[in-house]
Homo-oligomer: A and B are copies of this chain.
Amino acid sequence: MLENEVFSCFVFYSVLLVIKMYIIAIITGQVRLRKKAFANPEDAQRHGGVQYYREDPDVERCRRAHRNDMENIFPFLFLGAVYSLIGPSLAVARAHFLVFFLFRVLHTVAYLCVLRAPTRSLAYVVAQVPCVSMAMQVLVAVASYA
């Protein structure tokens, strides 16, 4: 499958997005340590006392960014893979992947840096466009197998 250059292009941007999600997880942990706000009593105990078993708005913001990624990047990992199999042109396919990649990075930056609304929402909407496009093209390609 890696001889399919559309698939390889998809894999490249997908792995970068997975790494981006890993980075959000690391940032969340750093914010928990800095703000002393832990999700578990046993973690709080280790870092100064059970009073640090508490919520924090900055931690919750990181968690929302991470959850939004799960809601959107995980479906992309599936859609992009099957879309690669229906034989799109490399230029068109790369445009799909690149738009999704760039606007999901913008989404994360807008979330974590609290950019003015509606920057984050617009980034979400634009990133959905290639996903819906791929979903429709894949559906048409396999509709006869329903």
Contacts and interface: CB of A to CB of B under 8 A. Distances in A.
Oligomer: number of copies: 3
Interface size class of A (residues with CB under 8 A): 35 or more
Interface string A120-136: 11000000100110010
A146 B15 contact: no
Contacts of A15: 79, 82, 135, 138-139, 142
A139 to B, nearest CB: 5
Contacts of A132: 19, 22
Interface string A71-99: 10011011100100110000000000000
CB-CB nearest 10 A-B residue pairs: A8-B145, A46-B117, A8-B142, A9-B145, A42-B117, A12-B142, A18-B75, A77-B78, A12-B146, A11-B142
Interface of A: 1-2, 5, 8-9, 11-16, 18-19, 21-22, 25, 39-40, 42-43, 45-46, 61, 64, 66, 70-71, 74-75, 77-79, 82, 85-86, 114-118, 120-121, 128, 131-132, 135, 138-139, 141-143, 145-146
